[in-house]
Structure 1
Amino acid sequence: MTPEDMTDFFVASAGVAGALIGLLFVVLTVAEPRFAENEEAAPIHRVRAGAALMSFMNALTVSLFALVPGGRLGWAAIAVAAAGLLFVLATLLSLARLQVLVSRRIHEAVFLAGLAVVFVWQTATAVRLNAHPGDGDLVSTLAMLLVACFVIGVYRAWDLVGGPSFDLGTEIRALARKRRA
């Protein structure tokens, strides 16, 4: 049972997740020729697109089940988190066998590890929610994990479309090289 004061959050979350999934499909459709041009980058694009989609689908599914009267929010959160963990495992195995730059695999693996942490935390919270249905604090924790999924998904989508990023380590190394030169 979802606390009444959380209903608006889950309604908004479901709407945002649905919109972001739709936009992700549009981006993939429009940018597909560009992705296909670079065979080396194609697997990385698939990883980023998959991570964004999994993040948004998690938020959508949990939000919709939170709105079902008398629904099984805990079980739904466990099921979608399990699917997410299987995605992360399969993607990490795929990255391990790819013949691309090691630095790119590490960058992608870090985000996948973060997503895995969210899914493990979500599973643990949902198991506790099944034992204590209607516990508002546990539902709030699930809501915060959905926010984390949105952040991860948007960041992965940003990487996917080639949005500019600033890596602190890269910037520090560039400054150090400039000073030495």
Structure 2
Amino acid sequence: MVPEEIHDFFLAGGGVAGALIGLLFVAISVSAPRLARQGHEAQLHRVRASAALTAFLNALVISLFALIPGRKIGLTAVIVGFLGLMFVAAALLSLWRVRHARWATARDAAFLLGLVVVFVVQMITGVQIIAQPAGSGNVNQIAVLVIVCFLIGIARAWELIGGPSIGLTREVTAMISGQNHEAAEREDGEPPPS
């Protein structure tokens, strides 16, 4: 059973998931030329698009089933988590099939690993809810996983549309590289920039 105090969360979660899925469809239509190409880079974009949709659908399905009276959220979490794991397996097979696919960044590998963790935790929590339906702590954990799915889906959609990526490591590396470049120019006798 979903406790009454978290009912509104799942109501809002269903609405947010629906809106994000709609926006993802717009992003996919904008990125359609990139997705239609052949090759490993296009395949990586297709996997990112599918991963965002999978994360959003996971959140949507759980949120909607949580709103139905009765004991459905545990079984739903297990089934949708299993389907999510099947997606990850299919994504890995898809990338392996093109054989030239390399991870564009460690972020892509971490993302798929993160999805596996979310789906496994979701399935375990779903089984715990089925075994002890009166405990609200496990339902709260499912709610947190819904939020994590939103964050994962948004991150994948952002990469899909080619949104800028500004990270601490990248910026520090660029700053150090810029300073090294300036020092090398000064050694060569060029005046420092004013």
- TM-score computed with the length of structure 2 as normaliser: 0.85
Contact 2:35/2:46 (8 A) holds in 1: no
The root-mean-square deviation of aligned C-alpha atoms, in Å, is 1.8
Alpha-carbon distance between aligned partners in 1 of 2:79 and 2:95, rounded to the nearest angstrom = 24
Whole-Å Cα distance in 1 between the matches of residues 154 and 123 of structure 2?
22
Distance apart, 1:124 and its partner CA: 1.0
1:141 aligns with 141
Gaps of 5+ in 2: 182-194
Alignment gaps of 5+ in structure 1: none
Identity fraction in percent? 49
2:104 and 2:94 mapped to 1: Cα distance? 13
The 1-side partners of 2:7 and 2:145 are apart by 16
Residue 68 of structure 1: aligned partner:
68
Q: Which has the higher helix share?
A: 1
Of stretches 68-77 and 145-154 in structure 1, the one that deviates more from structure 2 is: 68-77
**Pairwise mapping of residues 117-136 of structure 1 onto structure 2 (< 5 A)?**
117-136=117-136
Counterpart of 1:76, as a letter, is: T
Q: Is the 8 A contact 2:128 2:138 kept in 1?
A: yes
Q: How does the TM-score come out when normalised to structure 1? A: 0.91
Find out whether 1:57 has 2:57 as its counterpart.
yes
**Deviation for aligned residue 1:134:** 3.0
Give the structure 1 partner of residue 185 of structure 2: none
Change in 2 beyond 3 A, CA 1:105/1:176? closer
Counterpart residue number, 2:151: 151
- Residues 103 and 113 from structure 1, CA distance in 2 versus in 1: closer, same or farther, beyond 3 angstroms? same
Supply the distance in 2 between the matched residues of 1:59 and 1:45 (Cα, whole angstroms): 21
Structure 2: distance between partners of 1:63 and 1:16? 10
Q: 1: distance between equivalents of 2:161 and 2:49?
A: 10
Q: Work out whether residues 129 and 135 of structure 2, in 8 Å CA contact, stay in contact via their aligned partners in 1.
A: yes
Q: In structure 2, do the counterparts of structure 1 residues 142 and 45 end up closer, same or farther at CA, with 3 Å as the change threshold?
A: same
Deviation at 1:31, TM superposition (A): 2.6
Instruction: State the partner residue of 2:3.
Output: 3
Larger radius of gyration: 2
1:33 Cα deviation from its structure 2 partner:
2.4
The one-letter code of the counterpart of 1:20 is L
Describe the SS at the equivalent of 2:24.
helix
Instruction: Please say if residues 11 and 67 of structure 1, whose CA atoms lie closer than 8 Å, have aligned partners that are also in contact.
Output: yes
Q: Give yes or no for the alignment of 1:82 onto 2:76.
A: no
